[in-house]
Chain A
Amino acid sequence: MSNDVFVITEHMDGKFSDVSFEMVGKAKELTSAWGGQAVAVVVGGGAASNIFASDATIHVDDAALSQFNPEAYGKVIEALVKEKSPRLVMFGWTAMGMDIAAWLSARTGKPCVAYARDLCIENNALIVNSQVYGGKMIAEVAPEGDMVIVACLAGSFAVEAGQGSTAATQIASPVALVGLKTKFVEAIKPAGGDVDITAQAKLVSIGRGIGSKDNVELAEELAQKLGATVSSSRPVVDAGWLPRTRQVGKSGLKVKPKLYLMLGISGAPEHLEGMKSAELIIAVNTDKKAPIFNVAHYGATADLFEVAEAMLELL
């Protein structure tokens, strides 16, 4: 057993996600107290892996790892942690990390904390802060045992602290990747032709409060008048009222527009993750207790349809 912290980084199309750097930064903070090493773990080729501020970087490459494959990636990470016995394994609570963290926990019998938004050490023991129940509760838990798996919400820590230039140690896969049941077939790109909401300066974003597909038109009208684009929270997309390309949030896109006008979005953590760094956030919601009002710069408890219609007249 070591006091090392393993950060399972993730990359796509040659780029590492912000959460990878965030976790490396946090890992360094933790190991400086524990005395172990902050180790960035890179699985799969196609990305320059010497850009972390980690104490060490392990880069596992294999033909079977060229694309994200939960089964192959899981096996590699399992073998690695079993061999190196780090004290803490950090994943992003992301499309990739979510496939592996809990699986690894069940495979190894080691505890797992999901939805983590902070980690700290108290009396040499790890304490994890986790945002559960749709952001309505913060749980503070102490995981037991000699190895802990934590899946961190993106945007919880500073990106800069994890950026650096540590050379990576290239290794071959610690397990034979043969006989995999999961095969990568092809990448799916966003449906062509739709706007890129990450490149928009102004977004009018709609949530469950929009009520039905036909009301989306009102938001479109308002957006048009404002020179903005319509985006949304996850439920609107899941209901098929807008295409996936318009979804803001953890499972959607991260946006940083000059204006983020929110109509009927209550502000679930999943959504906040994608928009909290917008420059001006204005939220209209009928529920005065909606969590979005803790994040927005301006808020109003009002009927979104009335406000939108009144705005249309004024613009």
Chain B
Amino acid sequence: MIEKKIISKRFDKIDPYSIADYIATGGYKSLAKAMAGQRINILSEVEKSRLRGRGGAGFPVAIKMMALAKEAALVKYIVCNADEGEPGNFKDRAIMEKDPHSILEGMIITAYATRATKGYIYIRCEYDKPIEIMRHAVEEARKNHFLGQKIDKIDFDFDIEIRLGAGSYVCGEEFALLESIEGKTGRTRVKPPFPTSVGLFGKPTEINNVETFANIPVIIGMGGDEFAKIGTKSSTGTKLLSLSGNVNNKGVYEIPFGVPIKTVIDELGGGVPDSRALKMVQLGGACGPIIPRYLLDMIIDFDRFDEFESKTGSGAIIVMDDRCDIFDILLRNVTFFKHESCGKCAPCREGHNQLERLLRKFVDRKATITDLISIESLARVMHQTSLCGLGQTSPTSIISTLRYFRDDYIDRLESLEV
């Protein structure tokens, strides 16, 4: 078995509407354990666990947590990013639908450790069922005094509010998300300052992905050292994967870091249907790299993914067989990002429009060598100069295909004359 169910251990085993089920399966024990000890112990367990953010960028969670804990402000916020909008990602939805309290428990522990005063869960509005379940879970947690005033009869007040997105992809970007909660248009801000110093409503704020929070009770439960033994040196613990595309068994799977992509596709995904040949795989979602078959021995690991300079670590694996046309995929990606760009910074706002036009020339086999040079240069400039993650990572599929599938581009040129 290559699966290792830590985060998904309760999936389909408990009633997500029942806090009793959660408690009966060891739920909220980590919170009790955390609150029985010193706050600093929580921080040090998370540090020892070497947990990295599960939203995609893989930023060390303990650094954010300690930064927030150090802030002296009277009001501090915890925000759970449940705006899972990256095409090909649906693992946060699974956690919310199947084990909602694990997220709440992670948030409460984080709040206790950092002395945060209020939490927000920002869920994309299209997620009807997760919204309903999370709302129910928050209410039940409140009734059971895991949220509210004087939690566990000690001097610790913390409550969680659920906020909904309005359909914008960029609101999954942390600053755009904060702006959205504040009631403003979802557009990113200039960094620094980072959210842990100036975040939501100008207050210190820690923003983590759903899966990241769900890891916190696990770490407190088993201890940071024990947690760090799972996975690889650079990427500890397990990862929820969203496996989709041309595979027999699409779905959410949990594996320890270090498993090769190919193994996931073959063993968990049951291979490509209809005995077709696998052509390529897109990692992380629409903003991730497209890699060829010969790279599939690569293990799932943040450091290995770093070479793509993209936010590949969200765990999406989109499998594409030999019927898929690269330019069809690229054009869909770019059209999506063109629509979702907030328009604040010039390279992202103007760049996607031009990328789309250039790609159409490849689709129509009307491209010239100059277009090839232009698309490569433009993709790199957008990657290097855009203000937020959207524009920085959206050209990844183009940059990676120019690297691994360059011949496909050459094939589409109208002529080879300069």
- A and B part of one assembly: no
Enumerate chain B interface residues (CB-CB to A < 8 A). none
